[in-house]
Amino acid sequence: MACKGSIFHGPNFFLPTWVNNGVITVHDLSVFKFPETHPAERIKQFERDFARSVSQASQVITDSHTTRAEVITFTGLPSSKVTAVPLGVSAAYRPVEDRHIAAPLQRYGLVPHNYALCVSTLEPRKKVAQLLAAWRLLPDSLRKTYPLVMAGTDGWLSQALQSEINQAQTQGWVKHLGYVSEQDLPLLYAGAALFVYPSTYEGFGLPPIEAMSCGVPVVVSKQSCLPEVTQGAALMVNPDDIAEFCTALEKGLTDDIWRQTAVAAGLRVAATYSWQRCVDETVEVYRRAANS
């Protein structure tokens, strides 16, 4: 049992039943909005514990203002009890000269600035299938020059997607790396010619900001919180419109003027997100909880 005057923070949606004064972080509402993208066990846990945790919490934190609005509408909580606290970007994500990344990238069979990158779990709401479909429509010369590199673990309902990825790999225009170590991931970002993140729903969407912090131009979905988080520095698309998506990808790879503008804007936007800011604003929420 917690000591009198203490605050318990449940950083991943839930609070233990015995907590008297707690804060929870609700990263997104995907379990409720897209239940088909989650395993049954996870849905049962949310059905059992989420409403109780919300009712127990003195304050709720979300990763973005978009998610904050969703949580207020979904739960009926007063706006004074829900605060958006943006995530931060590690200092490891920064522009790196080619001479420092050539050798690490060579281990993956990659050359700096001669590939595009998507870092994402393989699951339906990430819209990876739509990315593959759009990339397939690119001119052969572009696909040959810029293979699509995919990094990330397998997710829920990814079997059919794996088959598509394997076929594209056989054809030579996709390279699926799977899990990439924390040490190598910033270098993989820094060496990309373009970063693509077509997810249909996120609570924050950290990968596009990590890419911006590395000085890489970014294409993202115009849905969910991604327009808010990228602050106009990314090229936004409807990932379900494959023709539009393909046109945006071609622009992202070939329009040098846009690319230069996107890199500069992305670095400015990424600089606004820090873990110190996240900590400071989280502590402010603790203060409000302590005074409630």
According to the model, what pLDDT value does residue 223 have? 92
| Helix locations, 110-232, DSSP H | 128-136, 140-145, 159-171, 185-190, 206-213, 226-230
Looking at per-residue pLDDT, the higher value among 120 and 86 belongs to 86
Burial of 206 (0-12, 13-18, 19+ CB in 10 A): buried
Q: pLDDT for 33-42, tens place per residue? A: 888 777 788 8
How far is residue 257 from each of residues 77, 94, 165, 262, measured CA to CA in Å? 45, 21, 31, 9
182 in helix, strand or coil? coil
Beta strands in the chain (DSSP E): 8-10, 22-26, 57-62, 82-84, 116-119, 148-151, 174-178, 194-197, 218-221, 235-237
Q: pTM, whole model, 2 decimals? A: 0.92
According to the model, what pLDDT value does residue 155 have? 64
Q: What's the pLDDT band for 235 if we cut at 50, 70, 90? A: very high
| CA–CA separation, 5 and 291 (whole Å) | 10
Residue 278 clears pLDDT 70, i.e. is over it: yes
| CA–CA separation, 72 and 67 (whole Å) | 9
Q: Of 123, 169, 171, which is closest to residue 149 (Cα–Cα)?
A: 169
Q: What's the average model confidence in pLDDT over 119-144? A: 91
In the chain, where are the structural domains located? 8-88+274-290, 98-270
According to the model, what pLDDT value does residue 1 have? 46
Residue 200 clears pLDDT 70, i.e. is over it: yes
184 in helix, strand or coil? coil
Q: What's the pLDDT band for 4 if we cut at 50, 70, 90? A: low
According to the model, what pLDDT value does residue 162 have? 83
- Yes or no: is domain 8-88+274-290 CATH 3.40.50.300? no
98-270 shares the fold of 8-88+274-290: yes
Average pLDDT of the chain?
A: 93
| Rounded percentage of the chain residues whose pLDDT exceeds 70 | 97
CA atoms within 13 A on the CB side of 136: 13
Residue 90 clears pLDDT 80, i.e. is over it: yes
Place of tokens 């060496």: 191
Q: Which CATH class is domain 98-270?
A: alpha beta
On whether the CB atoms of residues 117 and 196 are closer than 8 A, the answer is yes
According to the model, what pLDDT value does residue 228 have? 97
Residue 257 identity (one-letter amino acid)? I
CA atoms within 13 A on the CB side of 213: 21
Looking at per-residue pLDDT, the higher value among 123 and 234 belongs to 234
Q: Of 228, 230, 202, which is closest to residue 216 (Cα–Cα)?
A: 230
213 in helix, strand or coil? helix
